[in-house]
Structure 1
Amino acid sequence: MAVKEIVLAAVTALFGNYDVDAARELLAPDYIQHNPAVPTGAEAILGFVPALQEMGLTGVPHRVLAEGDLVVLHSTYENAQAFGAEKLVAFDVFRVENGKVAEHWDNLQPLVPASETASGRSMVDGPTEIVDQEKTAENKALVEGFVDAVLLGKAPETITDYISTETYHQHNPHVADGLEGLGAAFAAFAEQGLQVKYDQVHLVVAEGNFVFTAAEGKFGDQPTAFFDLFRVDAGKIVEHWDVVSEIPTEFAHDNGKF
């Protein structure tokens, strides 16, 4: 199976069919876990399955992209109280090795209804189709340049080299559409003493018109993980989704967030 098929089969077994035996066949025994609340190893996550079934947790993937051995799912979860809220939006990143899921990173955030977001867009709606496969490397380089220049603060004045000045659809619930919305949100954060600071990028996964990044930094004084997804069209970033989560001080393992 292709890496996407392996990951989707594993996720379906865990969160759709609650099939421990099927999931065990798809997970490496030494499965490396980065979710702060879940111990590492395949048997640890398999041990949660009966409780997940009892609470009725379900997951719906909206976007799936892959590069090399990494697969990114952009999903919503319902009946997810055990992970912090009834409804969550998530980015899950899986690494596949030798036909099995070998490592997992994620970021989870309570789902804000579209009626309550700054843009009127939901946290997961918008295009899902992967196109422009031949532009994967070009689009990845564009987003990496944006992250380095703007998010890491090396040349923020070059933002219009990367983000479209005509179309920029925003799915962060606190940010309105367009560069004006982005600027207004950052100004509002600054007024509250909440600087958004990216310090290091750990993962970049690109396929066609979609590029995903996982980074750590701070939101105010709180160590924070920033998982971002960008859609690129005609050489510019035109859409953005994200999931932002605090990095806790205590973990159920020694693997860290990244």
Structure 2
Amino acid sequence: MKKISLILTSILLMSALAACTSNSSTTEQPATTPTTENTGTGNPAATNPEATTPTEGATSTDPASTESASAQNAKIVANKKVVASMYQDVLNGHQADKIDMYLADDYKEHDPMIATGKEAFKTYIASFIKANPDYKVNVKGMIGQNDLVAVMNYPMANPDDPGQAAVDIFRVTDGKIVEHWNTVQSVTGASSMIQNLLPSASTTADVAATDKAIVASNAQFVSNFFNSFFVEHNTDAASGVVSESLVQHNVKMKDGIEPLVNNYLAQFRANPDSTATVVNMVAEGDMVLIQSQMKKNADDAGQSVVQIFRVENNEIAEMWMLSQDVPAKTVNENGMF
């Protein structure tokens, strides 16, 4: 199972990175595959010779590359505007009749509680808003890459609702939303703790000014780490890649590299057949977002897990994570992935 998961993950990661690196003047870095699996042996603080680092000062100097990057940015901006307007008009404006403006006729839904298709979504939203007239979504930020837009947000049924932390990922084609995935985690605790569950990013349709070469390098850097650490259970991969002073937003873990390594070392020992399969990947600016299906074993339905990594000074400096159990039954036939 683990080898199959690694193959699927590598294919998805390389596909997501291809368009990003096509506008880069840097050489694509190959994904690392550890020769030995670390599920409890070895020194977690040992140097990882296979780790690659983001390119410092990388720039796109080829005029054709610059033009292509500009065109790509324009597409991302347009996609973000579609998604942002849908939130404003439909989810926060409670205008279900405007759904036709934003969703494609062949809209595909992965939310386990909503049937697939534009008309089904329209029916669900109209009913939900009627039952929750004070419903509001507080958008904390958006990032986009290629045809995907990821929205970090806090939906609330009413002002007294502690709410949920959510990441919604939309695929946009020809100005219409054609597919949607989400991962939603209920939240408890102080409001300051809740607000730290997701990163802050621009809520406008602008694209971060970070050069495409650096974005591509960051994405490759994180994908290498994800493959080695989460897919192959090689906790040595954190050394030299994750900052010693890592800022951790997972409420179950403390800051620093050591708690991260120790936590997953225990998990991998307890679940040696666990797998992590990438579903979506979005990189913009200094952030790389990965949605994956994580399973303890072949019989486990698993969880939808969204991890967001911030890269700074050639290291993973900050991490966020949301998770949602995959239900035994879903309203639509598409499943969560």
TM-score, reference length from structure 2: 0.67
Aligned position for 1:61: 139
2:331 corresponds, among 232, 252, 256, to 252
Query: Are the equivalent residues in 2 in contact too, given 1:133–1:207 (CA < 8 A)?
Result: no
Asked if the contact 1:210–1:232 (Cα under 8 Å) also holds between the matched residues in 2, the reply is yes
Aligned equivalent of 1:155, options 234, 242, 247: 234
Gaps of 5+ in 1: none
Aligned letter for 2:292?
A
For residues 131 and 151 of structure 1, the distance between their equivalents in structure 2, rounded to whole angstroms, comes to: 30
Summarize the Cα distance change of 1:226–1:197 in structure 2 as closer, same or farther, 3 Å threshold. farther
CA contact (8 A) 2:235 2:264 kept: no
Tell which deviates more after alignment, 15-24 or 59-68. 15-24
2:131 maps to 1:42 = no
- Residue equivalent to 1:8: 84
Cα pair 2:140 2:200 within 8 Å, conserved: no
Higher relative contact order (CA 8 A, sep 6+): 2
TM-score by length of 1: 0.86
Work out which of the two has the higher radius of gyration on C-alpha atoms and give 1 or 2: 2
Q: Alpha carbons of 1:76 and 1:195: their partners in 2 closer, same or farther (altered >3 Å)?
A: farther
Q: 2:44 corresponds to which residue?
A: none
**Cα deviations across residues 152-205 of structure 1 (Å, max 9, x unaligned)?**
12532121232112x3111112111111232454467689x5789442112111
CA spacing shift, 1:195–1:229, aligned 2, 3 Å: farther
- TM-superposed deviation, 1:51: 3.3
> Which residue is equivalent to 2:3?
none
Shift of 1:42: 1.0
Counterparts of 1:108 and 1:237 in 2: how far apart (Å)? Answer: 24
Distance, in Å, in 1 between the alignment partners of 2:192 and 2:149 is 30
Of Structure 1 and Structure 2, the greater strand share is in: 1
User: Structure 2 vs 1, CA of residues 17 and 121 (structure 1 numbering), >3 Å: closer, same or farther?
Assistant: closer
Using a 3 Å threshold, how does the CA distance of structure 1 residues 174 and 154 change in structure 2: closer, same or farther? closer
Structure 2: any 5+ residue segments left out of the alignment?
1-76, 203-207
Work out whether residues 35 and 106 of structure 1, in 8 Å CA contact, stay in contact via their aligned partners in 2.
yes
In percent, how many aligned pairs have the same letter?
Answer: 24
Task: Give 1:209's aligned residue.
Answer: 286
Question: How far apart are 1:86 and its partner, in Å?
Answer: 4.9
* 8 Å Cα contact 1:28-1:42 kept in structure 2: yes
Match in the other structure for 2:156: 78
Counterpart Cα distance in 2 of 1:112 and 1:35: 22
CA contact (8 A) 2:238 2:261 kept: no
Following the alignment from structure 1 to structure 2, what is the Cα–Cα distance between the partners of residues 226 and 196? 17
- Quote the residue 2:243 is aligned against: 164
Cα deviation for residue 46 of structure 1 reads 1.3
Q: Deviations over 1:213-242 (max 9, x none)?
A: 011122585511111111111221111111
Give the aligned CA root-mean-square deviation in angstroms.
2.7
1:143 maps to 2:222: yes
